[in-house]
Amino acid sequence: METIKIDSIPESYQNQDGILSVSHEEESIVWLWAFPDLFPWQHSAEWLFSPVVGNKRWPGDLWGLDNEGNLLIIEAKNCRIQSRSDPFGDFEYLLKSHDSLVEEFSSDNLRHKWERLLKRELSFPNGYDQRPSGKTEGILPRSNHRKHIRKWKDLAKIIDKRIRSASYISTIDRLLKKRKNRNNPAPHFFGLLVRDKSMCFGLNEKGLQSKQKLCNIVKETNVHLYEAYAERKGKNNLVLSY
């Protein structure tokens, strides 16, 4: 398990101790945007974009690339709600043709989408303020008018600095080229269960079925299940774990 300690706690969680009862699973995606090395994957990763919630063509909460050019697609669910513990079900539409190399997974298509969204993202001074209607596009999580990234404003500032750096842009360019040179291998799909206090129901029955269905379409080695949580340790210390 990967962990990192931060010295700031959002105001809405100041009255909680131990493992936080996180109000929305998208907050766990904000943590990964701030600290990509938190993701417990065998290769280092960098993030491309967080798709709009409910978008069937671009499902998941976070798309990224690892250092080998593999595409990583992550869907987070708050596992305190047993009926929602099915992160893999969101991928079924994307794979309905049983073709693991659909257009959305190609390096050229990913580059086009990333460049367009990054340009929109950087046209505003930061990634957390609410934006005017019709101008909400960007690479960062933006559910509920960016409410969830705004809650973690100190992390949002870290994210802003990262995505505006030449290093971030050159890294994505390099990883996209590597993916293209490898002929766009099948993605890795991740279900991420966000723990509430000490409770985590794990996958529900539908989630187990969705996971098996996905394994039948892509290799079982390309389907993964992780947990995440934030734990308060001391007055101003918070540990993020995956």
Looking at residue 81, its pLDDT comes to 62
Residue 50 to residue 100: CA distance in whole angstroms: 20
Where residue 55 falls among pLDDT bands split at 50, 70, 90? low
Where residue 201 falls among pLDDT bands split at 50, 70, 90? low
Cα separation of the two ends of the chain = 5
Quickly list DSSP for 141-156: --GGGGHHHHHTHHHH
Where residue 190 falls among pLDDT bands split at 50, 70, 90? very high
Looking at residue 79, its pLDDT comes to 78
How high is the mean pLDDT of the chain? 90
Q: Where are the domains of the chain?
A: 3-241
Residue 89 to residue 91: CA distance in whole angstroms: 5
Residue 41's φ and ψ, nearest 5 degrees, are: -105, 160
Residue 166 to residue 39: CA distance in whole angstroms: 22
Looking at residue 191, its pLDDT comes to 95
Residue 194 to residue 61: CA distance in whole angstroms: 13
How much is the pTM?
0.94
Distances (CA, A) of 200 to 120, 220, 232: 37, 23, 18
Q: Which residues of 180-200 are buried (b: 16+ CB within 10 A; e: fewer)?
A: eeeebebbbbbbbbbbbeeeb
Strand partners, 78: 194
Residue 102 or 145, more confident: 145
Residue 101 confidence (pLDDT) above 60: no
Residue 158 confidence (pLDDT) above 80: yes
